[in-house]
Every structure is written in structure tokens, then in C-alpha cells.
């Protein structure tokens, strides 16, 4: 627990100097999966990781990845004291890697279109763009997900060998590959299903928040934001420290409270936050706007908890201010294209 100057309470995990965090503005996600591929080619193109997406983008409402992960349990009870048991997903729930007819199309001159050969009956974001609701008021939005590097991570608690740990310097949650014996209690225990079992290595692996990049281990020795953030075409991810009072993360999360947690009821206290989707209103059959929200509030509450209501109200107020020609720090932070404002990763460097 640390107290910031402005009086807001920023809860950090015990023994953590600073907590790295991300805010994703769901209003900007176009579902292009650039982040997914950036992550995949950086970290998960090795053996045993074919099915793994440390970063994935799913369509909501939808079953997600792994399929129906929200039904699999894990996390903590209401008091946040006792872990609630979770399930191990089936490999089919992740979707098996598909075989394509590359050989025939590329080398044998087949006229067939390039397509998966078989087993193509489920995969990450299989239900892309399906959403819910009826024409003309159907709705969906994209939900990019990485490990939340939780303040109270149930994956860490689940491991009987303490092979998962939260780094002291920035709260990044990592798996010690030498200590891990592949028991998979972390996979069960994470309610976001963001730890994966590598059957080839017989250990668990997960998103590392691109820690070598934020440590400046890149080719130029520069500090860089995680790949999923840097490579996102609409630049919807802000990265920094939750306890950096001057940064957008702290302001959006703690000051304006417009960035909310996904499934706060799991009580792992995620450090990835979302600006909830702010969809245009519903339309009548004749195409007129009507006074009804397109994405039902109760669905957003299911995802982001009751705090989503205040967040949306605040955003609406702030938008109205900008429309009136007034200043709005919130809208400035959400619309900036200056990466220096989006990524503040060197504030605590000595």
C-alpha cells in the first residue's frame, strides 16, 4: 500500500516498489490482431507454444479464448482471502493449431484457395464480429487481453513451488522456468486463463510484459513499451506506472476513474485497465437515433463491474465539454498521439 501526494490511495502489492500498468481504450480497437502477431512473433513462436497467445483479442459478447474462460473459475472468494478452485481448459478450448494447404497452393500449383485442411472447428476469436443483438441494433466490440500482472495474483498463490513470482521492481508476474515442474495449478488458478502450459517444455509460460523492452534491452538500448502497445496501429494502449502521479495511468485509473478492471469480482486486482466502449445509440428501423444505449449496461457491468457506470458517465461529461469547446484533460489523454504521453516508463529510473 502506498499513499500518493494527491491523497488517492494506490494499492500496490506488498514488497513492490512500483507497479507497471496498462490502460487500453476499447473505443479504438479495430480487431486487427497486430498486437497478437507482434507478441506471437516476439515470444511465442517457439516449440510447444503453437496454441498460445499471451496477447489475444476476442470479440465481445463472445466465448473468448480459451473458449468460455469466464466460466472456468479461479481467482479469490468475495473477501479476497481464499482461492476459489478453477479448471484446466481442454486443448480444444484453446483451438488446436491448424494445418494449411501451403504445400499444394505454393509449390504444387493447386487452384484451391489457401485454407485450413481440417480440425478448423474452433480457434481464438472464432466467433469474431458475431456479437449480440438484432439488426439494426446488433453490437460487439473487441477486447484485447494480456496477463494483468495482478496486484493479488492467484496464479502466484496457486503454485506450491513458488515458481511464479511478482517482481519487486515493477510488479511484473513471471514464471521461473527452473522452478516450474509443470503442475499447472497456475493455469487452473488464473481466472483470466493467462498462464499456458508448454507441453514440450513441461513448464508454464505467460506474458512477461515485454520486460526486456522496458528494461532497455533492445538493439539500441532504448526503453520501449511492450510490443503489443508499440505495434498497435490506433495506439490505444497507455503504459506506465500506477504510482506515477503525473502519468496518464494514474490519472485515468485513480483520479478520473474512467479506466476500469475486467472482472473485478475475481479479486486478483488486475493492473491492466480498460476505457469501456462507448457505442453510438440505438437506431430505429428507419435509421433514426433513439434514446437507448447500443451496448446494454448490464452486459458491461458483467464484464467490468458496477464501476463501469460512473466511468461511462464521466466520459460522456468530458466529451460534452470538448463539444462545447472546453478543456478536458481526460479527453486529451485519450486522444493524444504523442507516444511520450502514452508511455512513461523511465520516470522511476535513477
Partner 1 sequence: MDRRPLLLAAVLALAVVATTVAVPAMVSARPAYEIPVTAADDPDSLDSAEGEAWTEVPAAGVPLSSAGAAVPGGDDTTVENVRVASARTDERLYVRLSWEDGTRDTGADDVREFPDAVAVQLPANESARPPITMGSTDNPVNVWYWNGANASQELLAGGPGTTTTLTDSELRTAATYDGGRWRVVFSRPLAGASENRTTITGTRDVDVAVAVWNGSNMERSGQKATSEWYYLALGPGPQGPPYEAILWTVAGVAIVLTTLVTIEGVRRTRGE
Where along the sequence are the contacts to partner 1 (CB under 8 A)?
A: 85, 88-91, 94, 158, 160-162, 181-185, 187-188, 196-197, 199, 202
Name the one range near ligand SF4 by CB under 6 A: 46-54, 80-88, 146-154, 296-304: 146-154
- How many CA atoms within 13 Å lie on the side-chain side of 190? 28
Q: Cβ distance 173 to 155 under 8 Å?
A: yes
Interior CA angle at 266 toward 264 and 268, to 5°? 85
Shortest reach from residue 188's CB to partner 1, in Å: 7
Q: Is 148 in the site for ligand SF4 (CB under 6 A)?
A: yes
Using the rule CB under 6 A, which residue among 30, 106, 114, 117 binds ligand SF4?
A: 30
CB nearer ligand SF4, residue 39 or residue 328: 39
Q: Which is nearer to ligand SF4, 124 or 247 (CB)?
A: 124
Does 277 bind ligand SF4 (CB under 6 A)? Our answer is no
**Which CB, 61 or 124, lies closer to ligand SF4?**
124
**Chain centre distance of CA 232:** 13
10 Å CB burial of residue 64 (0-12, 13-18, 19+) is: buried
Judged by beta carbon, residue 19 or residue 137, the one nearer ligand SF4 is 19
Let me know: does 329 contact 317? Beta carbons within 8 Å: no
Choose the stretch contacting ligand SF4; rule: CB under 6 A; options: 32-40, 174-182, 211-219, 283-291.
Answer: 32-40
**Interaction mask 200-239, ligand SF4, x per CB under 6 A:** ------x-------------------------xxx-x---
Residue in 49, 83, 149, 267 binding ligand SF4, rule: CB under 6 A: 149
Q: Which is nearer to ligand SF4, 75 or 95 (CB)?
A: 75
CB nearer to partner 1: give 182 or 280. 182
Contacted by 335, from partner 1, ligand SF4, none: CB < 5 to 8 Å by type: none
Residue 187 or 224: the one with the smaller Cβ distance to partner 1 is 187
Closest CA to 120 of 98, 143, 148: 98
With contacts defined by CB under 6 A, how many residues of the chain interact with ligand SF4? Answer: 28
242 belongs to the binding site for ligand SF4 (CB under 6 A) = no
Spatial separation of the C-alpha atoms in residues 49 and 35, rounded to whole Å = 17
- In the list 16, 39, 147, 214, the residue contacting ligand SF4 (rule: CB under 6 A) is 147
Q: How far apart are alpha carbons 341 and 343 in whole angstroms?
A: 6
User: Are the beta carbons of 131 and 52 closer than 8 angstroms?
Assistant: no
Between 137 and 238, CB nearer to ligand SF4: 238
By a kind-dependent CB cut-off of 5 to 8 A, residue 182 interacts, out of partner 1, ligand SF4, none, with partner 1
**Which residue stretch of 13-21, 63-71, 139-147, 340-348 sits at the interface with ligand SF4 (rule: CB under 6 A)?**
139-147
Query: CB of 185: closest distance to partner 1 in angstroms?
Result: 6
Judged by beta carbon distances under 5 to 8 A according to partner kind, the member of partner 1, ligand SF4, none in contact with residue 280 is none
The binding site for ligand SF4 (CB under 6 A) comprises 29-35, 57, 142, 144, 147-150, 153-155, 173, 190, 192, 194-195, 206, 232-234, 236, 268
Amino acid at each position: 500500500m502506498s499513499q500518493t501526494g494527491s491523497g488517492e490511495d494506490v494499492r500496490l502489492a506488498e514488497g513492490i516498489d512500483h507497479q507497471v500498468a496498462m490502460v487500453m481504450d476499447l473505443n479504438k480497437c479495430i480487431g486487427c490482431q497486430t498486437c497478437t502477431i507482434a507478441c506471437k512473433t516476439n515470444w511465442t513462436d517457439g516449440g510447444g507454444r503453437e496454441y498460445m497467445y499471451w496477447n489475444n483479442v476476442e470479440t465481445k459478447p463472445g466465448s473468448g479464448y480459451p473458449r468460455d474462460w469466464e466460466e472456468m473459475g479461479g481467482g479469490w472468494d468475495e473477501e479476497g482471502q481464499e482461492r476459489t478452485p478453477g479448471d484446466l481448459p481442454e486443448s480444444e478450448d484453446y483451438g488446436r493449431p491448424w494445418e494449411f494447404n501451403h504445400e499444394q497452393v505454393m509449390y504444387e500449383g493447386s487452384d484451391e484457395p489457401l485454407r485450413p485442411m481440417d480440425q478448423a472447428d474452433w480457434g481464438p476469436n472464432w466467433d469474431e464480429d458475431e456479437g449480440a443483438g438484432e439488426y439494426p441494433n446488433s453490437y460487439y466490440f473487441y477486447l484485447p487481453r494480456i496477463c494483468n500482472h495482478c496486484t493479488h495474483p492467484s496464479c502466484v498463490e496457486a503454485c506450491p513451488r513458488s515458481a511464479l513470482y511478482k517482481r519487486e521492481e515493477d510488479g511484473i508476474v513471471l514464471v521461473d522456468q527452473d522452478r516450474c515442474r509443470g503442475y499447472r495449478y497456475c493455469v487452473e488458478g488464473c481466472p483470466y486463463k493467462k498462464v499456458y502450459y508448454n507441453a514440450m517444455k513441461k513448464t508454464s509460460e505467460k506474458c512477461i510484459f515485454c520486460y526486456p523492452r522496458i528494461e532497455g534491452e533492445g538493439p539500441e538500448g532504448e526503453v520501449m513499451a511492450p510490443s503489443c502497445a508499440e505495434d498497435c496501429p490506433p495506439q490505444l494502449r497507455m503504459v506506465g506506472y500506477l504510482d506515477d502521479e503525473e502519468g496518464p495511468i494514474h490519472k485515468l485509473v485513480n483520479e478520473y476513474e474512467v479506466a476500469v478492471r475486467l472482472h473485478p469480482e475475481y479479486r486478483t486486482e488486475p493492473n491492466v485497465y480498460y476505457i469501456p466502449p462507448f457505442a453510438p445509440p440505438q437506431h430505429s428501423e428507419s435509421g433514426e437515433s433513439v434514446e437507448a444505449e447500443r451496448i446494454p449496461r448490464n452486459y458491461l457491468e458483467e464484464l467490468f463491474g458496477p464501476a463501469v457506470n460512473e466511468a461511462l458517465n464521466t466520459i460522456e461529461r468530458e466529451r460534452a465539454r470538448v463539444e462545447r469547446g472546453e478543456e478536458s484533460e481526460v479527453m486529451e489523454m485519450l486522444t493524444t498521439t504523442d507516444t511520450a504521453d502514452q508511455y512513461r516508463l523511465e520516470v522511476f529510473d535513477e
